[in-house]
Amino acid sequence: MQQGLTSRLSKLLLISVFLIAGGTLNAAESDALDSDEPARYLGELKALYLTSDERKALLTHSNSLLKTYGLRAEYQVGQAKPADLHYQLSVGSPGELRIREERRDASGNIAVRNRGFSVFGMDPFIQYQCPPQGLVCTFGSPTGGDPWLTILRDPQGAEELAKALSFLFRNLQKG
């Protein structure tokens, strides 16, 4: 009886070793696949926007997402001062990202604000928040302080924009 129990335990141990080794191989395989993800993503964007320039594709995609998920006055029912909010990103000097913010109030008045910041030395992983009780998602300023982008509350849209901006930051950091 003891020999049967020992035999079963050794079989269980052998099976668990194979499962652990198989899990390690799967993890290694998935890491190898994940390393191709940036190239695949950039390739898809370049094909989508018919360009061979990664930076141009990333800028076009980011601006397209900002237009799609832009905050519009019609979504701000009950707000004290509803306004349309449009952003346009561009590249300035090497490593500089420029942001044009256009705010149009209910009367049709337009206020434009231009900002820019250097991406050198910054963490390229963009942070954002989409509180469930709010109607906007805000992107934290890479330099600290106030949010630098505000879009309509759409967590999936915010995630896609954060991904595109992260790739754009990395591209700009190359110089």
Picking from 175, 69, 172, 158, the residue whose alpha carbon sits closest to that of residue 124 is: 172
- pLDDT for residue 22: 44
- pLDDT for residue 21: 45
- pLDDT for residue 105: 86
- pLDDT for residue 7: 53
Q: Structure pTM?
A: 0.76
- pLDDT for residue 29: 39
SS3 169: helix
What does pLDDT average to in each consecutive run of 10 residues of the chain (175 residues)?
51 47 40 72 96 96 96 74 90 93 89 92 89 89 78 94 95 91
Picking from 106, 113, 107, 96, the residue whose alpha carbon sits closest to that of residue 150 is: 113
- pLDDT for residue 12: 46
The residues, any chain, with a CB within 8 Å of residue 53's CB and separated by 6 or more, are 46
- pLDDT for residue 169: 94
- pLDDT for residue 175: 79
